[in-house]
Structure 1
Amino acid sequence: MSRRKKNIKKNILPDPKFCNIDVAKFVNILMFSGKKSLSENIIYRAFDYIKKKTGRNPLDIFFLAIENCKPLVEVKSRRIGGSSFQVPIEVRLTRRATLSMRWLRESLFKRKEKYIYHRLGQELIDASENKGFTIKKRDNIHKMAEANKTFSHFKF
């Protein structure tokens, strides 16, 4: 029997405006220095920007962007016989969503718009159209896994 504690999964309350758990998770991922109200404000202003720019429902664009950014496989280092191999493994469903949200956050700082909610709104629009920094990152991960497909028999 394992001596480690069980990992307790925390229940996240839905966000107050859209009553959605995925938006609340993205608020938590975007949060800087514990300032949750600031990250909520950024996301809601980005959703207003998306509504004004495209005329479509911002939640639909958000979910489409998250779905397009989800990686199917990733590579992990595995040390075998003194050398390291990049072994492609399939990504679990919960980790897929977490990675896509994290990559969206990272891509905000590569954009050149003046305000952060403009950056977030434009990145979500780009990701929903299968372009942008986040989609490029996902494609690079998939290419790396495809290149190292020969090491897939080294499972964890």
Structure 2
Amino acid sequence: MSDDKTSEIKPETQKKTPEPVKVIEKPAKPEPTQEPAAEEKPKAPAEAKKKEEKPAPAPKAEVTTEEKPKAPAEAKKKEEKPAPAPKAEVSTEEKPKDPAKPEPKKIIGIPPDKLKLFDKYDMSEVVVSDAGLARYINLDPVMVPHTGARHANRPFAKSKMNIVERLVNNMMRNEEYTGKKTKTYSAVMTAFSIIESKTKKNPIQVFIDALENTTPREEVTRLKYGGVSVPKAVDISSSRRLDIALRNICKGAINASYKNTKPIEICLANEIMLAAKGDMNSFAVSKKEEVERVAGSAR
């Protein structure tokens, strides 16, 4: 029986021996997972090779070292570049042209002492003896008395305008000269040359004397008392005195040229010269005396 048992046991052992094989086969299922790992592992050496190949650019450093000798060539080029220095000399030659541009400014910036009216008459020699009018008679040196209506529509801005320009503007009165400043400008310029030739004096000084002799000092105004208007004598401001004198001189010249063969230039010159002397034949002087006489009777 023991033999049988042993014989029976042996086959069992023989049968059990293959069982471990089955146990080995079961873990063989995760082989798919292990296979990619096994496949990836060979990649690691490939990557290692790539990493080993990446340092290959190190020889490029040698290329750079080989290019370094080019630096002297570049240095030579840099040394050769200073050759364009002559261009700087060309620019220095062009610079002298800049001083030539401001030359017109020298003509514009004439010192006030050298500015003359119509480029003939010196205004610095003119003297105003009437202290009341001196504040409103502008004698700033100008060559061309024209401000282009810069002081228009501003109260008392006319006192900043040259007195000769105010004469030119007042001459634009009748239909022949209204709005024609160039025509009146030439008429005043010709009248001043006539005054200079006849009096041998500065025509601006003669004109200022005429203004001083034709400015009235008082006039008449109307006051109402209980519905009755009464004339009353009042003093005139210096600004209005000058306005009246300019108006009367220009009116006298225009009236004298009306229905007369004499041109306006001669009539204006005669009016200014007569007014400077205080002659009663002057329209402006006679008008002044008339206004003051009426004011004297209304005191």
> For the residues of structure 1 that align with 2:206 and 2:226, how far apart are their CA atoms?
47
Give, in whole Å, the separation in 1 of the partners of 2:159 and 2:221: 32
Q: Deviations over 1:54-110 (max 9, x none)?
A: 111100100000111111001112222222221111111111111000011111133
- Whole-angstrom distance in 2 between the partners of 1:41 and 1:13: 23
Q: Which moved more, 1:55-64 or 1:108-117?
A: 108-117
Query: Which range is displaced more, 119-128 or 74-83?
Result: 74-83
Distance (whole Å) between structure 2 residues aligned to residue 13 and residue 39 of structure 1: 21
Matches within 5 A, 1:26-65: 26-31=167-172, 32-65=177-210
Rounded to whole Å, the distance in 1 between the matches of 2:236 and 2:168 is 23
Question: Which residue number in structure 1 is paired with residue 278 of structure 2?
Answer: 130
* Percentage of matched positions with identical amino acids: 26
**Residues in 2 aligned to 1:79 and 1:130: alpha-carbon distance in whole angstroms:** 36
Q: In 1, distance between residues paired with 2:223 and 2:171?
A: 31
Q: Of the two, which has the highest radius of gyration? A: 2
Larger relative helix fraction: 2
Partner of 1:87, secondary structure, is strand
Q: Give the 5 Å matches for 1:1-150.
A: 8-9=154-155, 11=157, 21-31=162-172, 32-111=177-256, 114-131=262-279, 132-149=282-299
Deviation at 1:46, TM superposition (A): 0.5
Relative to 1, partners in 2 of residues 1:29 and 1:60: Cα closer, same or farther, differing over 3 Å?
same
- Give the distance between the partners of 1:107 and 1:135, measured in 2 at CA: 10
Question: How many positions carry a matched residue from both structures?
Answer: 138
Residues 113, 119 of structure 1: 8 Å contact kept? no
Once residues 34 and 13 of structure 1 are traced to their aligned partners in structure 2, the CA distance between those partners, rounded to angstroms, is: 22
Closer, same or farther: CA 133–113 of 1 in aligned 2, 3 Å:
farther
In the aligned structure 1, how far is the partner of 2:187 from the partner of 2:236? 29
Conservation of the 8 A alpha-carbon contact between 1:65 and 1:124: yes
Which stretches in structure 2 are left out of the alignment for 5+ residues? 1-152
How far has the Cα of 1:52 moved from its partner? 1.2
Higher-RCO chain (CA-CA 8 Å, sequence separation at least 6) = 1
User: Alpha-carbon deviation of 1:124?
Assistant: 0.3
- Cα gap change, 1:74 to 1:23, in 2 (>3 Å): same
Paired AA for residue 168 in structure 2? V
d(CA) in 2 for partners of 1:148 and 1:113? 41
> Where does structure 1 lack aligned partners over 5 or more consecutive residues?
1-6, 15-19, 150-156
Task: Specify whether residues 135 and 13 from structure 1 end up closer, same or farther in structure 2 by C-alpha distance, changes over 3 A only.
Answer: closer
Q: Over aligned residues, Cα RMSD in angstroms?
A: 2.0
Question: Whose strand fraction is larger, Structure 1's or Structure 2's?
Answer: 1
The CA distance in 1 between the partners of 2:195 and 2:261, in whole Å, is 14
